[in-house]
Structure 1
Amino acid sequence: MSSDTSKFHKSKQSAAVLKHAVINSYVTPFASKTGSTSKGNRVAFIDGYAGPGRYEDGTEGSGAMLLRKANELTALNRKVECHFVENDAATVARLRDVASAEGGDVKYTITDDDISTRLPNLLDEVKDIPLFVYLDPCGLPIPLDEVASIFKRPSGHGTPATEVLINLTAGLRRFAGMLYSEKAIGNSLKRLDEAFGGDWWRDVWLDKCPTKEGSEDQKMLAELAVVEGYAERLRQQASGAGTWIIDVKPRVDLKPIYYLVFASRHPDGLVTFGDATSMGLELWRKHNAEQAAEDTLFSVAADWEDDWKSEEKKLKDQWIGILAARLTSELAKGKPFRIFDRADEILGADLAGLVRTMHLRAAVKEVLAAKKTTTDPKGVRDIYKLLLMPA
């Protein structure tokens, strides 16, 4: 099977830097933890829209990254197997070359097919081991029902972990624009209905952006509302899964070009992914700072890394201050609590995904120093589940 996706694999753009940085930060703790108790220490990665493995400029794509991670994890006695699916013949050939050169002793499969066709068999092959599925289509994703089917595995204590990361909204605005047309475009809209699990998204979009002449802010609100609706339906169909939503931008000052939706049925998975997102965003900001420096005078560009580190410190101090204030407010209510149970109050929509364990730990230390709590976070591994006691 084939389709022309060649234009997407020339070089890694800023948005791709972010999503790959998040994956790079996430898959090692995922495989390390879940593989410690799995059968034969096995863990599976499925990359449903695998691409060529590496971009034409040599930088890592998801394929090369997952193979590298699988090789690194052998040092921890984790047997990670990678299953790649890609439906463009020329791209598959490039991926096979990358895997042959870099796969080492990792067990991997490469299938020239559509992920919708291949997914049921893959799920059967890895049914008894922890699974991370990455779905990064160039166009519309597979239907929501098929994404939800990934979670039709045993759940609960002692069962293999199941986690999914999906790139959403590619082409959403183009399809949404058809809602304002009088032409017969029902079949095109039905494609998005299928991907999103029904036509519910149409009313959601029109509620936020009722006319074709809607402002950019209205379109962004409509887009986010549809993504949130998708995540809600995935949670419902995935038997108790929680979700993260990450907006992916070319630069901080630009609008999102797509969203990543992560789903897991385990609290540890959600916490770990939140930390991975924070680390990924830090690397993304560094990449953008370096790119911006390349467009400036040499004397200024030479100092870009020092300037970036200075800005990162300002962000860190600001975030810790906000977290400490919110922790203090919760402690003032006079009852002990865990951060995990008060995530909305402590992290909020503004800091979720930006901060991670190191920032929360520093904030708890500040609150302890201010004598607002008697709880010392020293030596505590899981800061989210630490019970904070009012002073």
Structure 2
Amino acid sequence: MSFFDEKQPAAILKHAIINQYIDPFVGKTGRYSLDNRVAVIDGYAGEGRYDSGDEASPALLIRKAHELRRINRTLESYFVESDPKPRAKLQQVIANEGQGLPVQLFAGSIEDHLENLLTLVKGIPLLAFLDPFGLMIPFETTANIFAQRPIQPPATELLINFNASGLRRMAGLLTSTKENRGRESSLARMDASCGGSWWQQVWLDHGDDRDAAEEAVVAGYAERLADSQRCGWWTTPVRNRASHKPVYHLVFLTRHADGFSEFGEALSRGLSRWREALHKDENADTLFGDEAAFKLSEQALAEGWVNEIERNLRRLLAEGKPFKIYSRYAEVYGGVAGQARETHLRAAWKRLYPDVTKTDSKGDLIKKVIEPA
């Protein structure tokens, strides 16, 4: 069985996030772009479709490029794949589905082509998607994507797969007593990916709490990358089952508040799609596998999210000062950031108007100023 035989739940979440995020990213950034052009670089493109026929990221992006033409946006797709067999299959997907679209396929590694790709997309918005099967490209190479582009505009955003199993494997070398001839070279590769050896001490500082160590290393990586390039960052673990350890962590970086809030919306919808896939799989042979049962479970989750957002808004409004939601996004959403979205914020807000806030819950709430009553 190959990686591309069937889409796993972790891939369902990843692709659901991309599917939700591409529309607002291209729609907003392409509005003022030259000829309404927006670029996506898929640095580890793979076959394009799974053997089951399900979309992998290239087929998804090609479909989106067709759809976005309806709003006068040109989505340019740049695919990079080093393995000849997946690349040949992707070439066929492009031939079958990408007619009339600006699509280019490059043979080799993303490191081989990155300088040229950044030249090709100079001056237009860019979302770079780096989804390796193993370790990430060197930190300095990743940072260079931002470094070669102005702060704003055009928009520059990164979505990176931080391989969790690879991190755990490398971290195991730090405490292993077994002889390993490749130990130093392996750690050196991880150091290069993370931008230094700092991650080693972070991992060791957490002792036996390996889950906390993993989260701290991923957050440290994202924070260092974001700070070096003046970005905001968000990380989310991606699992094949809720009880499983993460397969990888998605690291998102953006320089714009809209990117941050729109990614939160896409993540929330992606998680719903992921939960639905798990529900159907885990309850396929039971009476609980129907759509009604899933909707009830989602309603229960939503009620909890609205309750938390309401508590957070009450606390913030009690300070007696107006504020914009996006400026205190993390405090407003609290522990449900990435799970809840604007519809849940609106529901919580309605509960507070007009007694706790004199601001109604109409319009774009993320950018709105909310005032105490």
TM-score bracket, shorter-length normalisation: over 0.9
Q: Equivalents in 1 of 2:124, 2:6: separation in Å?
A: 34
Q: How many residues end up aligned between the 2 structures? A: 369
Q: Equivalents in 2 of 1:155, 1:333: separation in Å?
A: 37
Give the superposition deviation at 1:328: 0.9
Report the TM-score, using the length of structure 1 for normalisation.
0.92
Aligned counterpart in structure 1 of residue 223 of structure 2, from 232, 248, 252: 232
1:174 equivalent to 2:169? Answer: yes
1:13 equivalent to 2:8? Answer: yes
Q: Equivalents in 2 of 1:356, 1:155: separation in Å?
A: 30
Aligned counterpart in structure 2 of residue 362 of structure 1, from 328, 347, 352: 347
Q: Percent identity?
A: 45
Unaligned 5+ segments in structure 2 are none
Q: Equivalents in 1 of 2:13, 2:163: separation in Å?
A: 16
Structure 1 counterpart of 2:331: 345
Deviations 1:81-115 (A, max 9, x none): 10000000000000001111111211111111010
Aligned counterpart in structure 1 of residue 116 of structure 2, from 104, 121, 124: 121
Structure 2 counterpart of 1:23: 18
Give the superposition deviation at 1:176: 0.7
Asked whether the 8 Å contact 2:308–2:333 carries over to 1, the reply is no
Q: Equivalents in 2 of 1:160, 1:319: separation in Å?
A: 34
1:287 equivalent to 2:277? Answer: yes
Asked whether the 8 Å contact 2:39–2:78 carries over to 1, the reply is yes
Superposed structure 1 runs of 4+ greater than 4 Å apart:
none
Asked whether the 8 Å contact 1:130–1:162 carries over to 2, the reply is yes
Q: Equivalents in 1 of 2:145, 2:261: separation in Å?
A: 21
Q: Equivalents in 2 of 1:7, 1:203: separation in Å?
A: 36
1:317 equivalent to 2:299? Answer: no
Partner amino acid for 1:367?
L
Partner amino acid for 1:136?
D
1:112 equivalent to 2:107? Answer: yes
Structure 2 counterpart of 1:243: 233
Asked whether the 8 Å contact 1:169–1:227 carries over to 2, the reply is no
Deviations 1:290-313 (A, max 9, x none): 11122x24xx15x52110001111
1:80 equivalent to 2:62? Answer: no
Structure 1 counterpart of 2:40: 45
Aligned counterpart in structure 1 of residue 156 of structure 2, from 158, 162, 170: 162
Deviations 1:249-271 (A, max 9, x none): 11223222210000001111111
Structure 2 counterpart of 1:3: none
Q: Equivalents in 2 of 1:160, 1:29: separation in Å?
A: 15
Report the TM-score, using the length of structure 2 for normalisation.
0.96
Structure 2 counterpart of 1:376: 360
Query: How is 1:141-152 mapped onto 2 (pairs within 5 angstroms)?
Result: 141-152=136-147
Deviations 1:189-241 (A, max 9, x none): 101011111111100011113xxxx3xxx111111110011011101221x10
Give the superposition deviation at 1:154: 4.1
Query: How is 1:61-72 mapped onto 2 (pairs within 5 angstroms)?
Result: 61-72=56-67
Asked whether the 8 Å contact 2:48–2:93 carries over to 1, the reply is yes
CA RMSD of aligned residues (A): 1.3
1:220 equivalent to 2:188? Answer: no
Give the superposition deviation at 1:179: 0.8
Deviations 1:146-166 (A, max 9, x none): 111111244345x11000000
Partner amino acid for 1:282?
S
Q: Equivalents in 1 of 2:7, 2:91: separation in Å?
A: 20
Aligned counterpart in structure 2 of residue 95 of structure 1, from 90, 102, 108: 90
> Aligned to 2:225, what secondary structure does the other structure show?
helix
Q: Equivalents in 1 of 2:342, 2:150: separation in Å?
A: 26
Give the superposition deviation at 1:362: 1.3
Q: Equivalents in 2 of 1:65, 1:281: separation in Å?
A: 18
Q: Equivalents in 2 of 1:330, 1:155: separation in Å?
A: 35
1:273 equivalent to 2:263? Answer: yes
1:387 equivalent to 2:353? Answer: no
> Aligned to 1:142, what secondary structure does the other structure show?
coil
> Aligned to 2:3, what secondary structure does the other structure show?
helix
1:308 equivalent to 2:294? Answer: yes
Q: Equivalents in 2 of 1:276, 1:353: separation in Å?
A: 8
- Greater CA drift, 174-183 or 261-270: 174-183
